Amino acid sequence: MIVEQYFIENKWRKETDQNEDGTEYYYYALDIADGFSFISNSDDETFDGEWTVGFFDCSPSMKFDDEEQLDALILIARDGIELGAEEKQEFVDFCLDDITELIKGFATAHKETVEPIRKYNSGMGALLCNGCSTIMATGEEAWSGNRLYCDTCEIETKQ
Ligand SMILES: [Zn+2]
């Protein structure tokens, strides 16, 4: 789902225009390069505060309605831009905060899905590290313990 706040936080350009009957509407745009822009639907086409994003003059039309998908798509599009070294550095500096936040978001989302790995191990039980698969415990702790990472991997995942 894409909410209007997404465009504001990510500094999309707000464009206002008028319908034939004089009523105003607005939408958001993000330019990646000349001739390549992401365009939202207009505020009078949204339902329940859910927005979609597509491209101009694209057939068949494409619509995206998920913020994470859109973030990934924008990153990929920006990554394909051929810039001179200096321009590229400026661009990277400009986007760095966004990218850092995005990566943190993915890391957090991933961490929540990590579960302790338990193996039967011929009845002895074994609790394996999620990072390197080392056996961290056998016996009772293997069945009841909730450790996800060995000491080495623990340090790496916290960085
Ligand atoms: Zn490990």
Q: What is the DSSP string of the chain?
A: -B-HHHHHHTTPEEEEEE-TTS-EEEEEEEEEETTEEEEE--GGG-BTTBB-EEETT-SS---B--HHHHHHHHHHHHHT----HHHHHHHHHHHHHHHHHHHHHHHHHHHHT---EEE-GGGT-EEE-TTT--EEEETHHHHH----S-HHHHHHHH-
Model pTM greater than 0.85? no
Provide the pLDDT for residue 97. 66
Question: How far is the centre of ligand 1, averaged over its atoms, from the C-alpha of 7 (Å)?
Answer: 40
Ligand 1 centroid, distance to 155 Cα (angstroms): 9
Mark which of 81, 104, 130 sits at the end of a domain. Answer: 81
How does pLDDT run along the chain (159 residues), one tens digit per residue? Answer: 999 999 999 999 999 999 899 999 999 999 888 788 899 999 999 989 999 999 877 788 888 999 998 988 888 887 777 766 677 677 667 666 666 666 666 666 655 567 888 888 888 889 999 888 899 999 988 888 888 889 888 877 665
Q: Ligand 1 centroid vs 129 CA: distance in angstroms?
A: 5
Indicate if 19 and 64 belong to the same structural domain. Answer: yes
**How far, in Å, from the CA of 97 to the mean position of ligand 1?**
30
* 81 Cα–ligand 1 center, Å: 38
The verdict on residue 89 lying in a domain is no
Q: Ligand 1 centre and the CA of 31: distance in Å? A: 43
Q: Which domain holds residue 13?
A: 4-81
Is 11 within the bounds of a domain? yes
Give the pLDDT confidence score for residue 92 in this predicted structure: 67
In a domain, 109, yes or no: no
Query: Is residue 98 included in any domain, yes or no?
Result: no
Domain closes at, from 61, 81, 101 = 81
Q: Look at the chain and report how many structural domains it folds into.
A: 2
Tell how far the Cα of 151 is from the centroid of ligand 1, in angstroms: 7
Residue 135 CA, ligand 1 centroid: distance in Å: 9
Q: What pLDDT, on a 0 to 100 scale, did the predictor assign at position 113?
A: 66
